[in-house]
Amino acid sequence: MHKHVEWDDPGADSVMRHFQQDNSGHSEPGPGDILSARHEGAVVRVKVEAYVDGTSIGDVAAIIAVDNGRRLKSHGKLALGDTVRLPDACRALEPILGDPDDRDQDG
């Protein structure tokens, strides 16, 4: 049984919005694909097991804190290994993780 998740709105990072502008390279997710979404501010990666009617079904493979890039075992009621449903509309592009001041800068 899957765990019900209220995914964050991907906003400008929407995968579907991105592919509306450029459909090249877009295909339906399949078994083994890793998709990203946002849940309560964290990045959640889902390993797809099945794809049905615009929704991927799979297990949580990673939970990542956006502010520092740290890997988490759980976040809120979501934990690694939970089986979830991820609608296409909730898929999000990966953000740049961590504090921008910690990154190397040219010059």
Query: pLDDT value at position 22?
Result: 62
85, HSE (Cβ side, Cα atoms, 13 Å) = 10
Residues of the chain under the 50 pLDDT cut: 102-107
Query: pLDDT value at position 32?
Result: 95
Neighbours of 47 (CB within 10 A): 15
Q: CB of 81 within 8 A of CB of 59? A: yes
Query: pLDDT value at position 103?
Result: 43
DSSP classification of residue 24: T
Query: pLDDT value at position 100?
Result: 52
Query: Of the candidates 43, 85, 88, which has an alpha carbon nearest to the alpha carbon of residue 62?
Result: 43
Query: pLDDT value at position 73?
Result: 96
pTM score over 0.75: yes
**C-alpha to C-alpha distance for 100 and 53, rounded to whole angstroms:** 38
